[in-house]
Structure 1
Amino acid sequence: MTLDAEDTKIITLARSARARNGSAEGAAVRDETGRTYAATDVDLPSLKLSAVQVAVAMAVSSGAESLEAAALVTEAEDPSADDIAAIEDVGNAILYVAGPDGVLKGRYV
């Protein structure tokens, strides 16, 4: 599967966020205006969010009305149902799932 430059960029941003924070997951989303938001998972005693949930929340709290695409970098083979639901809450964006090495594992809508 060949990705365009913008989709490759969000995978790179997700990988960078994950590596920078030493987190289990990294995610990035692109909104309808082309703005991107990168995040990692949050694992606090009182708050647990996946990287996708954090990235979606960042986009929405910044005024995004819809998402064009999302990327999740993780060791897992598939995204969680909660990650897919968060993406669907803001439209029907494509969610790319890649491994820590950046190799694409799948594409979800």
Structure 2
Amino acid sequence: MTDDVQPAALDPEDAKIITLARSARARNGVPEGAAVRDETGRTYVAATVALPSLRLSAVQVAVAMAVASGAKALEAAALVSDAEQVADADLAAVRDLSQQGTHVLLAARNGDLRTVVPVG
């Protein structure tokens, strides 16, 4: 895990998925927003699902959307949340499709990157 990553060092494609995750969170008024980028560069954006019969984190929804669309691997995932760390279940979902270099970016509500977690 790498803390206090400087925004200038952030890859533009990683910055893009943080922005998309942040937008999903704000647009839907939910605790978390997430976005994942697959091996072809396609992105999938999701928000927390909290129904009486179904509860999924934003990362889990984004990974499920990628799989349902035919993604074979993920390059990166971004999570915008108040959480101090990425949940184990979220890391496991990303790890299921990880390849060498896959990472999860954890950002605050304002989009500031807090942590990068390598999973592949």
Map of 2:56 onto structure 1 = 49
2-structure distance, mates of 1:97, 1:53: 14
Q: Secondary structure at the match of 2:36?
A: strand
Q: CA deviation at 1:61?
A: 0.3
TM-score normalised by L of structure 1: 0.98
Mapping for residues 1-109 of structure 1, pairs under 5 Å: 1=5, 2-92=9-99, 93-109=102-118
Show CA shifts across 1:39-70 (max 9, x none). Answer: 00100111000000000000000000000000
The alignment's C-alpha RMSD in Å is 0.7
1-structure distance, mates of 2:90, 2:114: 16
Q: Which runs of 5+ in 1 are unaligned?
A: none
Q: Which runs of 5+ in 2 are unaligned?
A: none
Q: How many residues align?
A: 109
1-structure distance, mates of 2:98, 2:31: 26
Q: Secondary structure at the match of 1:105?
A: strand
**Moved beyond 6 Å, runs of 4+:** none
Q: Secondary structure at the match of 2:84?
A: coil
What amino acid maps onto 1:50 in structure 2?
Answer: S
Q: What is the aligned-residue identity percentage?
A: 62
Larger relative contact order (CA 8 Å, sep ≥ 6): 2
Structure 1 window deviating more from structure 2 (87-96 vs 45-54): it is 87-96
2-structure distance, mates of 1:41, 1:4: 25
